[in-house]
Amino acid sequence: MPTQPLYRKLRSERRSNSVADPTPSTAVDATGAEARIPSTDLLGVYRMMVTSRVVDERCLTLQRQGRIGFYVPMQGQEAAQVGCTWALSPEDWIFPAYRELGVALTRGVPLKLLLDQFIGNSGDALKGRQMPNHYGYRAFRFVTASSPVGTQIVQAVGTAMAARRKGEPIVTATFFGDGTTSSSDFHSGLNFAGVFRAPTIFFCQNNQWAISLPREKQTRSETLAAKSVAYGIPGVVVDGTDVHAVYGAVAKARELALAGGGPTLIEAQVYRLGPHSTSDDPRRYRSDEELNAWKAKDPIARLKHELLADGQLTEEADHEVWESTKAEVAKALAASEAMAPVQPRTMFEDVFAHIPLALEEQRDQFEALSAPGATKP
């Protein structure tokens, strides 16, 4: 059978991976991880977190104004996303969910390119074929997001194994929320990765709510990271509002993966300060007291106070960071909104290497009907 050679290869890999396994099978707390972001990088990290917040707030407003159709906010998760991505290499592949704006910006995706996708104009690299906020860019090794939760997990594992076989010294990092840990793809992906030691970082942003379902009604596990025990891989819990803790845990997990030690499950405990999406009203299921308690742990304010205390930032300089960022966002938005919409004829492109006759006839008919002055049937 054609699958037999692959089966033998996987069986061989499993046997070779069973020798001298250096990975623990218990979940541990990595809040005090040794690695910290270099002090020379901290202002850059802070600016990236501010940029993520400003863009996020602007996009939420744009949707309410009817200028984009849909949006998934990430306010409150800036330290988790920026800190994690900062610890990765540009060569590492990223498999996001639909809330990873901070990851995309940190990876280097231009703001205008993101706005083009939110709007769905002719600058959209996906040509309007994905719903807003479901972006992906091969040049940045940032895979397109999907609406079904967890599908990116098994994709990340497969890519990690392919990279290892090709001898590429990279890891894959996949992002998901607390609700996804109840999915079958979570189980399949972590189990397979554990068996074959795939160099994958599973980064769970536990923002306490799977839309309207609270974390305590999703699982009896003491932590989500504790689920790693069943798969024989390390599981760590970090304070997701502490960018240093996130960076340190991811840096350690990446080092382990590149050394052949296999995957790590990281649970970053954060809070979604806004709605699940622009179709959601969180006031219906959570209290103001809970929201305000987490607002007091704002990750941006936390890093700002550190920079102020270290003398790397002043209140005046901080004000300039926010104002200049808002100006940059306004400029990029104006450029995106000035672009023409996606041309309808692109629906006939990128399906076949050589367009078949039937589709060619449909395209010609469509263009004839779309021509100025054409008589509609």
In tens, the pLDDT along 169-190 reads 999 999 999 999 999 999 999 9
Q: How confident is the model at residue 372 (pLDDT cuts 50, 70, 90)?
A: confident
| Element containing residue 334 per DSSP (H, E) | helix 315-337
Q: How confident is the model at residue 132 (pLDDT cuts 50, 70, 90)?
A: very high
pTM: 0.90
**What phi-psi label fits residue 208: left (phi over 0), alpha (psi between -120 and 50 degrees) or beta?**
left
Span 209-218, average pLDDT: 93
Query: For residues 321 and 302, what is the distance between their CA atoms, to the nearest angstrom?
Result: 16
Q: How confident is the model at residue 373 (pLDDT cuts 50, 70, 90)?
A: confident
**What phi-psi label fits residue 154: left (phi over 0), alpha (psi between -120 and 50 degrees) or beta?**
alpha
Place of tokens 């263009």: 367
Alpha helices by DSSP H, the chain: 4-17, 42-64, 78-86, 101-107, 111-119, 151-165, 184-196, 243-258, 288-295, 299-310, 315-337, 357-370
Q: How confident is the model at residue 8 (pLDDT cuts 50, 70, 90)?
A: low
Determine the pLDDT at residue 370: 86
Domain boundaries, the chain: 20-342, 343-377
Judged against a pLDDT cut of 50, whether residue 364 lies above it is answered with yes
Mean pLDDT over the full length of the chain: 91
Query: For residues 154 and 162, what is the distance between their CA atoms, to the nearest angstrom?
Result: 12
Judged against a pLDDT cut of 70, whether residue 312 lies above it is answered with yes
Determine the pLDDT at residue 351: 84
Distances (CA, A) of 228 to 3, 155, 190, 204, 239: 29, 19, 8, 12, 18
Q: How confident is the model at residue 31 (pLDDT cuts 50, 70, 90)?
A: very low
Worst-scoring range by mean pLDDT, 18-27, 56-65, 235-244, 299-308? 18-27
Q: At what angle do helices 315-337 and 111-119 cross, to 10 degrees?
A: 50
For residue 55, what are its two tokens? 């863009």
CA nearest 224: which of 180, 178, 185? 178
Determine the pLDDT at residue 208: 95
Q: Please name the residues in contact with 213: beta carbons below 8 A apart, sequence gap of 6 or more.
A: 179
Judged against a pLDDT cut of 90, whether residue 35 lies above it is answered with no
Class at the top of the CATH hierarchy for domain 20-342: alpha beta
Place of tokens 């541990």: 28
Judged against a pLDDT cut of 80, whether residue 4 lies above it is answered with no
Span 15-44, average pLDDT: 61
Q: How confident is the model at residue 371 (pLDDT cuts 50, 70, 90)?
A: confident
Higher pLDDT, 39 or 30: 39
Which residues carry out catalysis? 272, 276, 285
Span 304-309, average pLDDT: 98
